[in-house]
Amino acid sequence: MILAASLVFTGFLTGRGIYVRSQPSWVDGGFGRFETGAKSATDSAIKDQEEAQLGADWTPTTWLHVHGHGIARRKGSGLIEAYVDLQKDFGANNLRLRTGQTRGSAKRCDLSERSCSGSASLRMQW
């Protein structure tokens, strides 16, 4: 059986404007409840936030799948998750081996941080 390999890119861009009257955000080390804040509790500010995400999925055969996706923000960018998935079907049963790396949280990604964790899993379903 001959199958064509597939390479699929997915992504999105988002942006928003925010008018805020609050103290500095907890994300920036302040005590504000929101993810963006002004310079002080009595100050106001107009802020903007942009984000881009891009993912790629490559499936060269029926038993091999490669995936990766990343994020770009003003306060940090980087690879969020990447893995290789090997799968073999035996009729009603299958065997799958997945290995890769994930970042524990997508809210702060910094290319200068090298704190990604790796993992491998084997799943057999009979």
Reported as a pLDDT band with limits 50, 70 and 90, residue 29 is confident
**Cβ–Cβ < 8 Å for 102, 81:** yes
Q: What are the sequence ranges of the domains in the chain? A: 6-13+51-125
Q: Produce one character per residue of 64-83: b if its CB has 16 or more CB atoms within 10 Å, e if not.
A: ebebbbbbebeeeebebebb
- The set of residues, in sequence order, having a beta carbon less than 8 Å from that of 37 and lying 6+ positions away, is 20, 22, 23, 24, 25, 28, 30, 45
How far apart CA 28 and CA 107 sit, in angstroms, is 12
How far apart CA 101 and CA 67 sit, in angstroms, is 11
Arithmetic mean of pLDDT over the chain = 77
**Cβ–Cβ < 8 Å for 38, 54:** no
- Mean pLDDT value across residues 91-114: 62
- Mean pLDDT value across residues 29-45: 80
**Cβ–Cβ < 8 Å for 54, 77:** no
Q: At residue 12, does pLDDT exceed 70?
A: yes
Higher per-residue pLDDT: 35 or 64: 64
* 61-81 confidence digits (pLDDT tens): 888 999 999 988 877 788 888
**Cβ–Cβ < 8 Å for 20, 38:** yes
